[in-house]
A = this chain, B = another copy of it.
């Protein structure tokens, strides 16, 4: 008998959790389309040379494919599973450049795979949700604010705790460091990026190792501690550091403009310790944290980059800005801790009961009439007592039971939670708006959603 067991790092949900994830994905997709983002799905595999073309990502554990019945000397197919959505997106844009209309806005929701050692919050298979805007040769910095606002809005529409979005600007940091006479900017960025994990006391020796004098290190750490909700707060705090450099000015102006544009999004604030380790980003950077669950790390992140395709593409730069939402990280954590619970197992609002097998055609007609009006409906499947039938409704969390009439009496609908019954016509009856949606339990409180 074959091994039937969960695989560590490859999460799977219960059907009711999956129902919720599908609604979350539909909400994301719908919102992105409302804003003009086009969908993209790339193949799951890329040639290894594409996957390894960005030097910084060799620490991502790539899964390589081999055919089970390959000839012994056939070796690998030279293909691996993608470990993020950025590499396949870049390859797609390089390949289909002539078919796309720039600036191109795209969203992409797909699984990615990493052969890392599984640990809390780390998965080997997980779903990412990315949005990006790509320009040809140039892309207005206004898109940075558009992407951050949209990220804020789409997350606010989900049944999850509020998300704080911390923004920063690489040019601000680089200008600051250069203004302080620091040469090894990348090393300093990487050190500062670790502040959240190791604290100032941990960062200080890394700065010393990067050749930063103690006085400059003080100011770098003072800068990293700056947080600001408004453009004017930000400007005052940064000017207060007493450093000047043209890059600093440019980064500060762009970050201040972004804060201005996000002034009506209370979760967005500047936090100058956000650096994002990768060389990839060249302007705005953003990281998001679930309020009350900050310890699980960033649940979304992204920023501005100079050239999407880099070594993959010829024919001019493709600057862009984008963010990635770690859907599995968010849902996996909220499901595991019980902070998010589906309140319903079935997508249905109504269970049509069956008084006897002889009346099945009538019951089917009721179910079809309700479905035709968009009311998801199940039909009890066999002759059975009312108790058995209502028990199924209860097990599936279906809120209403429908009863066919006796003789000329009207149909009756029972709300199972309250016991309330009403007369009903299958051509006109509609569920209460609360029950018509998909209720969810967030931090112990059941609320309407979806």
Contact = CB atoms under 8 A, between A and B. Distances in A.
Interface string A18-53: 110110001001000111111111111101111001
Contacts of A347: 33-34, 36-39
Contact of A92 (B12, B68, B311): B12
A81 B80 CA distance: 12
A201 interface: no
B2 A19 contact: no
Contacts of A53: 2
A247 interface: no
A142 interface: yes
A337 to B, nearest CB: 19
Interface in A50-67: 50, 53, 61-67
A32 to B, nearest CB: 8
A346 interface: yes
Contacts of A92: 12
B95 A36 contact: no
A122 interface: no
A39 B61 contact: no
A115 B63 contact: no
Tallying the copies of this chain within the complex gives 2
A43 B10 contact: yes
B65 A140 contact: no
A5 B95 contact: yes
Given A2-B312, A64-B68, A371-B35, A125 B45 contact: yes
A76 interface: yes
**Sorted from nearest, which 9 A-B pairs have the closest CB atoms?**
A36-B378, A33-B347, A67-B115, A10-B43, A15-B38, A62-B68, A2-B49, A2-B53, A63-B65
Interface in A125-154: 125, 140, 142-143
B41 A68 contact: no
Contacts of A45: 7, 10, 125
A336 interface: no
Contacts of A6: 95
B69 A41 contact: no
B115 A77 contact: yes
Given A33-B376, A95-B6, A96-B14, A38 B346 contact: yes
Contacts of A94: 4
Interface of A: 1-7, 10-16, 18-19, 21-22, 26, 29, 33-45, 47-50, 53, 61-69, 76-77, 79-81, 91-92, 94-96, 99-101, 103-106, 111, 113, 115, 125, 140, 142-143, 311-314, 345-348, 360, 371, 374-379, 381-382, 392, 395-396
A15 B62 CA distance: 27
A5 B7 CA distance: 34
Contacts of A4: 50, 91, 94-95, 312-313
22 contacts: A1-B314, A2-B91, A3-B50, A5-B95, A10-B43, A11-B43, A15-B100, A19-B39, A22-B39, A33-B347, A34-B371, A34-B374, A36-B347, A38-B346, A43-B125, A44-B125, A48-B68, A61-B69, A62-B67, A62-B69, A101-B395, A140-B381
A376 B19 contact: no
B64 A40 contact: no
Nearest to A100: B15
Given A12-B42, A18-B41, 5 more contacts: A4-B50, A36-B376, A63-B67, A65-B115, A143-B381
Nearest to A81: B65
A129 to B, nearest CB: 13
Contacts of A313: 4
Given A64-B68, A69-B61, A381-B143, A15 B39 contact: yes
A374 B27 CA distance: 12
A48 B7 CA distance: 13
Contacts of A360: 142
Interface centre among A48, A66, A96, A312 (most CB of B within 10 A): A66
B15 A40 contact: yes
Contact of A63 (B15, B66, B314, B377): B66
B36 A345 contact: no
Nearest to A116: B67
Contact of A68 (B37, B80, B103): B80
